[in-house]
Structure formats: structure tokens, C-alpha cells
């Protein structure tokens, strides 16, 4: 039924009555539509559910359009990003258009759903700003990192699950916890993959996060376990364009200290909590979505 969501997004974009925007939209890689999947699995496929899923995916797409400008990312999901193809100005405006059309449509759902989703967009914008600000320094505070990824990524998944629970008249708190845990784990895994995957599989340059100044969970853990001399070296590489040997050094130190496993275990814990919550509610499909997230190859 994800195709109903695709059609709804196309319809919303079509209603803008703008050939340029319709053409740009076709250049946008769709991704996994994870948020829409959660919404449909929780709330079924009534018209307002499909609309809510479409709105959330439009907001998510808008946030990634802006994010790729902010991160100077020229690929997204193995394809050229909109900023790479048409420049930053077009990418930002396409983001604004998708985002505002999504908000316009949100008014037609329900005040409670509108509140949950719009609050998440505030959080996600605050989170992205935090990400940018944290990248200017060498952040070693795990709590600050966790708060930032909650806001930047988990808030919209939490809201997707919460909005769906409201539409389906289900227990909002349990589903929001599920969405939040999944979102935090998702971003942790995204941050791990930036280190473990080669750039071709990743669809973007590997170790890009650290070059961009982002000290994600693996870097925070690595720093804690390095000796003073090595800590100095790691710090000196922060925000630098890394040479092959510097990349290798970081990767070998991560391996030596079991950093990837340690970070992955943290994500896994959150996913397991989400799974047991859903198992208790008999939501097998939602448990499976969570399971699939941690069953990837590292």
C-alpha cells in the first residue's frame, strides 16, 4: 500500500501546478519510505492515514534536501543530490515547497495530528542546527550527541508513530516510544555505516562525518579508549580532509577497541526495547520492521 502514498505525494505535488517543481520532484530519490511504512502498519490505509504518511514523507524529503546543502553532500542514495544537479538555491526552495505544501495539507487531518507533526518539525530543525553547531568543535559529550540525534532524526519517527496511533485510536505513548527508539537507533546505525561502509555502497564518501566535524558515537567511544598521544592524533584529524593512511589509522583504532560493536550494541538495545513493546501489543509487522534495522551487515 506504499504505492498509495507515492500517488498521494504525486497528487500533492501536481496540485502545485508548477512544471518545474514536478520535473524536479522526479529527480528526487524516494528512499525506503520508512516513516510511511510505520504509519500504514500502525493505522491502516484510510484516506487520512495515507495523507498523513504522504505529508510526513514530504517533510522528510524537504529536510534531506536542506541537509544535503548543509552537509555539502553531492550524492543521496547513490544518486546525485538535487544541490549537485541544480545548485543550492533550487534544493533549498524545492525543500521549502514540499515542506509548506505538506503543512498546508496537515491542516486537513486533525488538530492533534497537526500538533504532533509540527512539533516534530520544530525539533528536527533544532536538532539540525545543533548538529551544525556541534560540528564546529570536537564534541565528546555522549548525552549531547544523543539529544541531537533524537531531535534531528528520531523526533519525526516518533511523531509518525504517534500521529498514526492517534488516527487508529491506539496507545499513543507506546507507539511514540517505539518510533523514538527506532529513530535514535536508525541515526546511530547511519553514523556507524559512515565508518564501516565503502563509499560506493554508502552512496556518499566514507568517513565524511568526521571530515564535516561530526563526532558521532563511534568517535566519542574511540576517544575515551585511546591513550593521550592517540587522543591528540584523533583530535588533529577532526574536520581535516583525510588521507588514505589517516583513514586507515582511524579504522584500525576502531577495530582494535571494538568500537563498532560497542556502538552497534547501543543501537541494538534500543531496537530490542522497541521490539518487546510491539510484541506485547501483538504488532508483529512493527517488530519485524525494527528487527530488519539491526539485522544489517556491519
* Residue 62 binding: pick among Mg ion, ligand FPP, none (C-beta 5-8 Å cut-off by kind): ligand FPP
> CB burial class (10 A; 0-12, 13-18, 19+) of residue 124?
buried
Cα-based angle 251, 253, 257 (whole degrees, multiple of 5): 120
Of the pair 197, 281, the CB lying nearest ligand FPP is at 197
* Residue 128 binding: pick among ligand FPP, Mg ion, none (C-beta 5-8 Å cut-off by kind): ligand FPP
Chain residues binding ligand FPP by CB under 6 A are 59, 62-63, 66-67, 71, 73, 95, 99, 121, 124-125, 128, 152-153, 190
Among 152, 179, 186, which Cα is nearest to 164's? 179
* Residue 39 binding: pick among ligand FPP, Mg ion, none (C-beta 5-8 Å cut-off by kind): none
CB 250 within 8 A of CB 237: yes
All residues at 6 or more sequence positions from 216 whose CB lies less than 8 Å from its CB, including other chains: 145, 188, 191, 192, 194, 209, 210
Instruction: Enter the C-alpha cell of residue 256.
Output: 582494535
In whole angstroms, how close is the CB of 92 to ligand FPP at the nearest point? 9
Cα distance between residue 235 and residue 219, in whole Å: 10
* Residue 50 binding: pick among ligand FPP, Mg ion, none (C-beta 5-8 Å cut-off by kind): none
Of the pair 55, 174, the CB lying nearest ligand FPP is at 55
Of the pair 71, 191, the CB lying nearest Mg ion is at 71
**Which one among 67, 131, 212, 283 touches Mg ion, defined by CB under 5 A?**
67
Burial 266-281 (b: 16+ CB within 10 A, else e): bbbebbebbbebbeeb
Q: Give start and end residues of each alpha helix (H) in 15-46.
A: 19-26, 34-43
Which span (12-20, 64-72, 75-83, 174-182) binds Mg ion, by CB under 5 A?
64-72
How many CB atoms within 10 Å of residue 256?
12
In whole angstroms, how close is the CB of 103 to ligand FPP at the nearest point? 9
Positions in 69-98 near Mg ion (CB under 5 A): 71
Of the pair 91, 174, the CB lying nearest ligand FPP is at 91
Residue 214, SS3 per DSSP? coil
In whole angstroms, how close is the CB of 153 to Mg ion at the nearest point? 10
* Residue 57 binding: pick among Mg ion, ligand FPP, none (C-beta 5-8 Å cut-off by kind): none
In whole angstroms, how close is the CB of 95 to ligand FPP at the nearest point? 5
Among 84, 71, 298, 73, which Cα is nearest to 198's? 298
Query: Which residue has cell 521549502?
Result: 96
In whole angstroms, how close is the CB of 118 to ligand FPP at the nearest point? 10
Which span (65-73, 75-83, 153-161, 254-262) binds Mg ion, by CB under 5 A?
65-73
Burial 46-70 (b: 16+ CB within 10 A, else e): eeebbbbbbbbbbbbbbbbbbbbbb
In whole angstroms, how close is the CB of 67 to Mg ion at the nearest point? 4
What does the binding site for Mg ion look like in residue numbers (CB under 5 A)? 67, 71
Amino acid at each position: 500500500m506504499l504505492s498509495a502514498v507515492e500517488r498521494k505525494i504525486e497528487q500533492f505535488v501536481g496540485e502545485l501546478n508548477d512544471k518545474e517543481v514536478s520535473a524536479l520532484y522526479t529527480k528526487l530519490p524516494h528512499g525506503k519510505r520508512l516513516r510511511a511504512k510505520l504509519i500504514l502498519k500502525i493505522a491502516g490505509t484510510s484516506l487520512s492515514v495515507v495523507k498523513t504518511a504522504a505529508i510526513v514523507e514530504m517533510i522528510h524529503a524537504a529536510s534531506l534536501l536542506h541537509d544535503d546543502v548543509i552537509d555539502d553532500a553531492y550524492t543521496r542514495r547513490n544518486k546525485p543530490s538535487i544541490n549537485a544537479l541544480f545548485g543550492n538555491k533550487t534544493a533549498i526552495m524545492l525543500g521549502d515547497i514540499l515542506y509548506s505544501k505538506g503543512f498546508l495539507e496537515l491542516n486537513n487531518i486533525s488538530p492533534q495530528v497537526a500538533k504532533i507533526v509540527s512539533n516534530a518539525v520544530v525539533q528536527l530543525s533544532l536538532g539540525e542546527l545543533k548538529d551544525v553547531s556541534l560540528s564546529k568543535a570536537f564534541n565528546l559529550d555522549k548525552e549531547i550527541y544523543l539529544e541531537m540525534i533524537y531531535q534531528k532524526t528520531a523526533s519525526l519517527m516518533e511523531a509518525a508513530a504517534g500521529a498514526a496511533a492517534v488516527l487508529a485510536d491506539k496507545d499513543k505513548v507506546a507507539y511514540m516510544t517505539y518510533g523514538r527508539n527506532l529513530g535514535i537507533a536508525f541515526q546511530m546505525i547511519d553514523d556507524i555505516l559512515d565508518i564501516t561502509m565503502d563509499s560506493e555502497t554508502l552512496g556518499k564518501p566514507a568517513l565524511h562525518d568526521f571530515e564535516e566535524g561530526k563526532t558521532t558515537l563511534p568517535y566519542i567511544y574511540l576517544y575515551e579508549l585511546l591513550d593521550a598521544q592517540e587522543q591528540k592524533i584523533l583530535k588533529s584529524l577532526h574536520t581535516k580532509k583525510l588521507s588514505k593512511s589517516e583513514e586507515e589509522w582511524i579504522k584500525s583504532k576502531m577495530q582494535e577497541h571494538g568500537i563498532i560493536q560497542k556502538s552497534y550494541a547501543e543501537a541494538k538495545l534500543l531496537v530490542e526495547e522497541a521490539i518487546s513493546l510491539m510484541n506485547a501489543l501483538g504488532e508483529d509487522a512493527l517488530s519485524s520492521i525494527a528487527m530488519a534495522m539491526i539485522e544489517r551487515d556491519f
